[in-house]
Each structure stands twice: as structure tokens, then as C-alpha cells.
Chain A
Amino acid sequence: MQGSAYAREEALCIEFDVRAGDVEHGGMASSQIKAALKQFGLSEPVARRAGIIAFEGEMNLIVYSDSGGTIRVCVDSEYIEITVQDFGPGIEDVDLALTPGYSTAPAWATDLGFGAGMGLHNMEKNADRFEIHSRLDEGTTISCWVKRRTDDSS
């Protein structure tokens, strides 16, 4: 899997396309994202948080989206911004989807250890700022910001 890199205003970005149902390559984008952030000089705890957000977003695209989507990661002087976007089916009840343990995962996904109902919660927990917008039949966009420098190592 190859991401495309580009500069956006004062940020460096990398973007990956993720295909729906492509479990075989699940985690490829997020592990490359984490490695790229570390190469960029970010600390392991910060790259780890961004990597976990990217992984959960990536698996959501694979397990739930109709037609896949994109993960974009941009780094500026202060934040890592991770944006995960798909074009359907959308989430009916976002608050419910954010509740730890709630999942609509199909059986094939739970057999593989996905669908614990912790994905969105993990994204929110690892982000300093978290936004989710979803509309039925249109799609879902999740944006997470992780501070490049943190006082703790959690």
C-alpha cells in the first residue's frame, strides 16, 4: 500500500485510500502512518496515539463503509490532524455508536476480533480534539487532533 504525500499550506500531509472489505490489508495504512510520524521526529507516545486513531478509522472503513474511504494525516507545527472520510452508509445514532461496547459489526468481523464496540471510543480517547459528522446515505467524516507535544506520556 502506497500513500500519497503532499504539502498543504503549512502542513505536511499523507493520504491513503482504504477499500471496503479489504481485511487482508487492514492496518497497513495506519502502521505506515505511525512509522512516518516517527520518522518525522515525533515521540513514540504521540505517534502511538495517532496510530491507534488511524487504525480504528482504517478498520471502520474496511468493516462498515459501503465503498471504502480515505485517511488523511497532516502535521503542522502544533498538531497531527487525522481525518477519516467515507461516503456511506452513515451512522444512524452517533451518540450510541460512541458508547463503549455498542457495535453493529457483522459476524465475520467479530470472529476476527473486531467489533468490540470500542473503535470510536478509542479514537475519541486518544485525541485532544475529536469531531464526528455523519449523515445517513451520505457518509461519515471523523477528524481528530493530537498535540505534537504532551506533558504526560499516556
Chain B
Amino acid sequence: MILHELARRMDLERLVDSQDATHEIETGYVGDLLSHVLASAKSNSLWITIQRHENVVAVAQVAGLGCIVFAEGMRPEAPVIERARNAGIALYVSPASAFELAGRLHKLLHTEAP
């Protein structure tokens, strides 16, 4: 599903837009331990985490994850947002828990996908 459509239906607040208007999300991954994300998250995942420091942008770049969603209102600071903008990584934030966000994503991808 297209990221813009997913973000709207998951009720996410956008911090950094994707550079690709047709950015496609195929699956999701939830995790806060960075090596586990690198080991297990598939490319083109939407990554849900409560880590909000600079290194998450590098993890997303290296692992080919085009979008990070910060759960529980964990809003990153300006340098992280700047780094994501330069790296072409979309960022969103939501007050919802990772569990709640993963539930919304799963429902949209697996029961309502065209």
C-alpha cells in the first residue's frame, strides 16, 4: 500500500515526507534493538520504534527501510529530522503504542489491501 494512504488511515503525524510519492510499503517491523532490526526487518518495511536518536536513521538507510514511525509520542529532535530529510527517510510520529500501530498496519496491509 502507498505510504501516504497508510499514514492517513493509521492517523500518523508526518515529520518528514517521503521523496517518492508512490512509496510502497510491503510489510512492517516493530523493534527497539537495532541489531535485531538489521537482522530481521525486510526491505520496504514500515519500522515502528520508540528509539528516537540519530542512529535510527542510519539503521533505516542501511537496512533499506524507507519509513520510521515513532510510537508513544517519542518525537525526535531537530538533528534527527534533518538527518532523515537528507537521507530520504520518511518520519512519522503517533501517540499510540507500538502494539496499536502494528495492529492498524497489519489490518490495512493484510485485510484491506487491493
Contacts and interface: CB of A to CB of B under 8 A. Distances in A.
Nearest to A55: B62
B16 to A, nearest CB: 16
A61 B73 CA distance: 31
Contacts of B107: none
Interface residues of B, number: 22
A34 interface: yes
Contacts of B111: none
Interface in B10-45: 32-36, 38-39, 43
A125 interface: yes
Interface residues of A, number: 29
B2 interface: no
Contact of A112 (B51, B57, B62, B64): B51
B61 interface: yes
A146 interface: no
Interface of A: 23-28, 30-31, 34-35, 44-45, 48, 51-52, 54-56, 59, 112-114, 116-119, 121-122, 125
